[in-house]
Structure 1
Amino acid sequence: MNAVLVDVGAPATCHPLTCTRNLADCPVANRPLAEAQRQRLQAAGFGNDAATGARLFLRGDAWLSVALLQALRSSQSPTAVVTADGQTLAHTGTAPDVSPTVAILPADAESFAIRFPWDLLRINEILVGALAESRIEAQVSANVIIDGILVAGVGTRILPGVYVEGKVIVGRNCKIGPNCYLRGSTAIGDDCHIGQAVEVKNSIIMSRSALPHLSYCGDSIIGERVNFGAGTIAANFRHDGGHHWSRIRGEVVDTGRRKFGTVMGDHVHTGINTSIYPGRKLWPHVSTLPGEVVQADKETPHG
């Protein structure tokens, strides 16, 4: 059976990331989401897009487990995967519209709708967590400790005092260190700088961004060409240990995450010693003042 990935454009519920790119182009594990979805379809035995015949139609804002994809490929009649709240993630058939007589497969625990930015963190955790071995094409200095798995691209320099714990991907032409700490399921894009006394944990850092010194970034998504002023802290934990919330189009939404930091659009610049409350988002081209405490989403540049 062949598969069709249905483009969903740039949903507003994924702002600020989709202010400047389609959801399909948002990176997970250092590759566009759509590429990761297609690779998953291939792993489940699906062929490329086909113009006619029985096909799988997978929404571009859906993530399905390989097991569920294989169940769909084996189905003998039109079948749809539906979440507990009634959202159709994918279906088999001959047309993009779901048949009213389609059989229903409930979404399993590893299949979900990509509704909000933090859903990309969940996918990143799945993909980076699946890494089985290191692949290091970077230049690694003495006194670097790799306590886990590291994938690092050509042209990247990893300087003395860097400690890598868990599974981490670093792109091409990056400067990592000296004396920084990378951990969790972290993916750092191309041409990034993670510098002195910086800790990055379980985050997506997009290409050409810089966290040069004395900063913490945990469970966060950082857009392209972002610069952290020295001492910028993206907090990710509540004192009561509860789930974090975030505002989406004016409504408070439970993220379902006990650890969640910030989401920054492209070209954000933070002033020195900026502190960001968990779950707060900064839109493209926003900046903060030195010492600013970000208690609410910032949508207006320089506001």
Structure 2
Amino acid sequence: MPLFTTRAIEDFPIGNILLRDHHAAFAVEGLRTHLHAWLTAEDMALLSPTTPTLVDERRTPLAWFGDVPDAAKAIVANSSFLIVHPWDLLRANEHFVGALSSPKIEGDIHPNAVIEGVVHLGAGSRILPGVFIEGNVIIGANCKIGPNCYIRGSTSIGDKCHVGNAVEIKNSIMLSGTNVGHLSYVGDSVLGEKVNFGAGTVTSNLRHDGKNHRTEVDGSLVDTGRRKFGCIVGDGVHTGINTSIYPGRKLWPGASTRPGEIVQRDVVSNLQ
């Protein structure tokens, strides 16, 4: 997968916090966790001496007390799960960002911006006039958002990102150093580090028949379980202006598109 060729899953940020650091919030003596598990406080509260192991619906251990998981004393998670594919990152991000309850503003918000939701804004970041934020959103440090952008929850944007004029971002993850040029749309997608979307780049995220999206993994089509699903973009990808990307497509690290290109199939670069 494009994102997992350049970083381990445990080193992927969820809401701008590494997955491994999310695990640290549950650290107690004797507790072990699967490196790729997304864990919720609701499920972790279920662990006890009588039920020392938390498993997913496939009985994969997610967290346990002791040296090894005890399958005979396991409880099935309600909301925790194993991150296997990039679209699982979106599910974890939705859970974390959607649960924000109080704002944290360290940057500057222009008086003519409208905020309807809980926002975390990093130091040195600026939200310019005309920006409308609807839902919970996390924006890192030293970012520039707008003017006239529409940012929808649950979106997380890393450090040193630029979201240009009249861009819409919905339920997506953007890693640090990524730029989305003016008049673009990014929906239900994951963008790696130092990606540059040329002006007018549009991701499609809905099938005409309303069914779940499927995407190719190791030569086979896999059901993502998602009715809304955009694209997965590796580090350093550059798109030409007015690029259109079909749902469920993957662009590998270092790949690029030409102006006006329609991405109907995965784009593999020589950096794979």
Q: Tell me the CA shift for residue 18 of structure 1.
A: 1.2
2:50 equivalent to 1:80: no
Root mean square deviation, CA, Å: 1.7
Q: Are 1:282 and 1:297, in contact at CA under 8 Å, matched by a contact in 2?
A: yes
TM-score by length of 2: 0.95
Q: Are 2:173 and 2:191, in contact at CA under 8 Å, matched by a contact in 1?
A: yes
2:5 equivalent to 1:23: no
5 Å matches for 1:211-290? Answer: 211-290=180-259
5 Å matches for 1:1-303? Answer: 15-39=1-25, 41=26, 46-47=27-28, 55-72=30-47, 74-76=48-50, 79-93=52-66, 95=67, 97-99=68-70, 102-108=72-78, 110-301=79-270
Residue deviations 1:199-227 (CA, integer Å, cap 9, x gap): 00011110010002110000111000000
Give the SS at the match of 2:46: helix
Match in the other structure for 1:7: none
State the alpha-carbon separation in 2 of the partners of residues 75 and 119 from structure 1.
Answer: 30
Give the SS at the match of 1:279: coil
The one-letter amino acid paired with 1:98 is P
Q: Tell me the CA shift for residue 302 of structure 1.
A: 9.5
State the alpha-carbon separation in 1 of the partners of residues 230 and 104 from structure 2.
Answer: 28
Residue-pair matches, total = 272
State the alpha-carbon separation in 1 of the partners of residues 13 and 259 from structure 2.
Answer: 30
TM-score by length of 1: 0.85
Q: Are 2:59 and 2:76, in contact at CA under 8 Å, matched by a contact in 1?
A: no
The one-letter amino acid paired with 2:164 is G
Q: Are 1:274 and 1:290, in contact at CA under 8 Å, matched by a contact in 2?
A: yes
Q: Deviation above 6 Å: which 4+ runs of structure 1?
A: none
The one-letter amino acid paired with 2:65 is T
- Please list every run of 5 or more consecutive structure 1 residues that lacks an aligned counterpart in the other structure: 1-14
State the alpha-carbon separation in 2 of the partners of residues 299 and 17 from structure 1.
Answer: 12
State the alpha-carbon separation in 1 of the partners of residues 85 and 156 from structure 2.
Answer: 19
The one-letter amino acid paired with 1:130 is A
State the alpha-carbon separation in 2 of the partners of residues 240 and 302 from structure 1.
Answer: 35
- Please list every run of 5 or more consecutive structure 2 residues that lacks an aligned counterpart in the other structure: none
Q: Tell me the CA shift for residue 153 of structure 1.
A: 1.0
Q: Tell me the CA shift for residue 132 of structure 1.
A: 0.9
Give the SS at the match of 1:242: coil
Give the SS at the match of 1:105: strand
Q: Tell me the CA shift for residue 33 of structure 1.
A: 1.1
State the alpha-carbon separation in 2 of the partners of residues 161 and 68 from structure 1.
Answer: 40
Q: Tell me the CA shift for residue 111 of structure 1.
A: 1.5
Q: Are 1:156 and 1:174, in contact at CA under 8 Å, matched by a contact in 2?
A: yes
